[in-house]
Amino acid sequence: MRLLIAEDEPELAEQLKDAMSDAGYAVDLAFDGEEALHLGQTEPYDAVILDLGLPVIDGIQVLERWRRAGRTMPVLVLTARDRWSDKVAGMDAGADDYVAKPFHMAELLARLRALIRRATGHASAELVCGPVRLDTRAAAVTVAGEPVRLTGHEFRVLTYLMHHKGRVISRTELTEHIYDQDFDRDSNTIEVFIGRLRKKLGADVIETVRGLGYRLVDPLEAK
């Protein structure tokens, strides 16, 4: 899953990026509203953490322009402004949730996970497909109750497929959602990650739809 963090305080931005990366997300940073606006309009983010007090263009204007442009990704507003009127302004502009500074990183992560789950139609923090279970809180995967160790990229591929269980996902879409902006992307490596996941999870969990991409399926439901 891929995130945009728009935050003009460099130290906080790096802390957020480190925490989100450790939780299994691919992360891009924007340090002003102009950069955030451009990235949010041109890149396929699964969620955004947006500071209202951005320079050049403030966060409210950025959010309003995203929504007018039809960008529907979940947005969590993060700001030092804690007046109720600022919260209302953020929500009216199209924010999905609001966290005031200072904050606890664990709470921010929990709210972010909840936003992504709701956006993809999941109520539980645990994603299940047949014998495979992915705990989004602990970033842990089990198969038939046994823990499975995944690399960072394998985990990102599986997480995206789990959030979109049953839907055909192209290699291009997977590539866009598992790498950050600065990574040297190669959609051919997706085949490698899929092959590794099949060995670790079971060969019949990820189905190849010829010419279209991949689909996560429950082996029992597929029979």
CATH of the domain at 192: 1.10.10.10
Q: Are residues 107 and 170 in the same domain?
A: no
Mind listing the pLDDT tens digit for each residue in 160-182?
999 999 999 999 999 999 988 87
Please report how the helices 189-201 and 152-163 are oriented relative to each other, as an axis angle in degrees rounded to 10: 80
Q: What is the total count of domains within the chain? A: 2
Q: Are residues 109 and 20 in the same domain?
A: yes
Domain boundary among 65, 87, 119: 119
Rounded Cα–Cα distance for residues 199 and 107 (Å) = 35
Residue 29 has pLDDT above 80, yes or no: yes
**14: Cβ contacts below 8 Å, ≥ 6 apart:** none
Q: Are residues 92 and 136 in the same domain?
A: no
Q: Which pLDDT value is given to residue 184?
A: 65
Q: Are residues 111 and 205 in the same domain?
A: no
Within 13 Å of residue 118, how many CA atoms lie on the same side as its CB?
14
Q: Give the residue-averaged pLDDT of 122-148.
A: 93
Cβ pair 202, 219 in contact under 8 A? yes
Cα 1 to Cα 71, 91, 162: the distances in Å are 17, 24, 11
Domain span holding position 192: 126-222
Rounded Cα–Cα distance for residues 19 and 184 (Å) = 22
Mind listing the pLDDT tens digit for each residue in 34-48?
999 999 999 999 999
Q: Which CATH number is 59's domain given?
A: 3.40.50.2300
Q: Which pLDDT value is given to residue 41?
A: 96
Please report how the helices 10-22 and 105-119 are oriented relative to each other, as an axis angle in degrees rounded to 10: 60
Nearest to 7 by CA among 53, 42, 67, 74: 53
Neighbours of 195 (CB within 10 A): 12
Q: Which two tokens stand for residue 126?
A: 């645990």
Output the pTM of the full model: 0.88
